[in-house]
Amino acid sequence: MDLLADLGAIEPHVAALIILVVSGLMLAGMMVLRGRRGSAVAVRSLPAFRDLRNRIQDMAETGGTIHVAVGSGALDGQDSVISLGGLQTLEGIADATVAYGVPLLVTVGDPTLLVVCQDVLRRAHERRGLSGFYDPARVRYVAPSPPAYAAGAAYELSVEDASVSVLAGVFGAEASLIADAGSRRGLPQLAALANTQAIGALYGATDHLAVGEELFAAGAQMTEDRPQLVSLLVQDVLRVNLVVVTIIAAALALLGSLGAG
């Protein structure tokens, strides 16, 4: 009885917000269950990386190398989450390049990324039964400082005669050095970045730019891993629910202040 009395004392607008929040959480839970049962997981398309798999497939016939720069973020530093997002993107690209026999070059600017990126490439070969073709030298540690790393990655981009350049991970304004090297050669360039300086540096260099949380969406879309796709879908549902709750709360607060006046 006390619980019912407490519920009855809740203001109508507060009750409406509670119901909306609970509904959003229930919907997110339904998405998770649907994903676990093997149903198709439909996520929002990410234009920046939507056509990359088709481009890799075409390169199997025309030739060329894909260069992936994973940045200078240490896995044990404050930017570790962003580096993990870049590694997810690399994993999807590695799976596709190994499947179609397209050469892949990975450049890193931190020692902690070197071994992990080599492991990503090794596992991509193992999943296809091509362990004998794995070459750890295709992952290269360039330099410890971001400017030196970007300059070295730009050099590797030219030496390896890359056909596509991808930046995914921790970058600052030095990303413009890699973008400039790609632009000089007229390469298609894709980027998934979170730093505002890096986004500003690449904004005019490519139309294929994923920013902020889209970095993690790129990883899910490239790997096509079901748990990651379900996680992305749940995040989108909760994000929309949060926006709706915020708008309704602001509107109710405004109406309440007008009524009191």
- Read out DSSP for 142-187? --SSHHHHHHHHHHHHHHTTEEEEEEEEE--TTHHHHHHHHHHTT-
127 and 36 assigned to the same domain: no
**Same-domain pairing of 107 and 207:** yes
Residues 80 and 178 in one domain: yes
60 vs 16, more confident: 60
Give the residue, 176 or 6, on which the prediction is more confident.
176
Q: Are residues 14 and 69 located together in one domain of the fold?
A: no
What pLDDT shows up at residue 211? 79
- Residue 6: pLDDT band (50, 70, 90) is very low
Structure tokens, 152: 């070295």
Two tokens, residue 214: 């889209």
Tokens of 203: 């904004």
**C-alpha 48, offset from chain centre:** 10
Same domain, 130 and 115: yes
pLDDT band at 210 (very low <50, low <70, confident <90, very high): confident
Residue 182 and residue 86 share a domain: yes
Residues 75, 197, single domain; the answer is yes
Q: Do 147 and 198 have their domain in common?
A: yes
Q: Which residues contact 17 (CB under 8 A, 6 or more apart)?
A: 245, 248, 249, 252
Asked whether residue 256 carries a pLDDT value surpassing 90, the answer given is no
Q: For residue 52, what are the CA distances in angstroms to 1, 94, 167, 191, 231?
A: 60, 12, 13, 12, 22
Q: Looking at the structure, do residues 220 and 231 belong to the same domain, yes or no?
A: no
Question: Which of 69-83, 120-134, 196-210 reaches the highest mean pLDDT?
Answer: 120-134
More confident residue, 60 or 251: 60
Identify the pLDDT of residue 107.
97
**pTM for the full model?**
0.73
> In the predicted model, what is the mean pLDDT of residues 26-33?
50
Residue 232's pLDDT is 63
Q: Which of 35-39, 54-58, 249-253 has the lowest mean pLDDT?
A: 35-39
- Summarize pLDDT for 243-253 with one digit per residue, the tens: 666 777 677 66
Instruction: Check residue 171 and give its pLDDT.
Output: 94
Percent pLDDT > 70 in the chain is 66
Say if residue 209 is in the same domain as residue 248.
no
Q: Are 33 and 131 in a shared domain? A: no
Segment 141-151 mean pLDDT: 94
How many domains does one find in the chain? 2
Q: What is the pLDDT of residue 13?
A: 52
Taking all residues of the chain, what is their mean pLDDT, rounded to a whole number? Answer: 79
Statement to judge: residues 219 and 245 lie in one domain: no
pLDDT in tens, 78-119: 889 899 889 988 998 998 899 999 999 999 999 999 999 999
Please check whether residue 189 is in contact with residue 183, taking contact to mean a CB–CB distance below 8 angstroms.
Answer: yes
Give the relative orientation of helices 111-127 and 80-100 as an angle to the nearest 10 degrees. Answer: 30
d(CA 13, CA 24) in angstroms, rounded, equals: 17
Instruction: Decide if 75 contacts 84 (C-beta within 8 A).
Output: yes
Q: What is the pLDDT of residues 216-236, one digit of tens each?
A: 776 666 666 665 556 666 566
Its domain, for residue 187, covers 47-224
Q: Residue 198: which CATH number?
A: 3.40.50
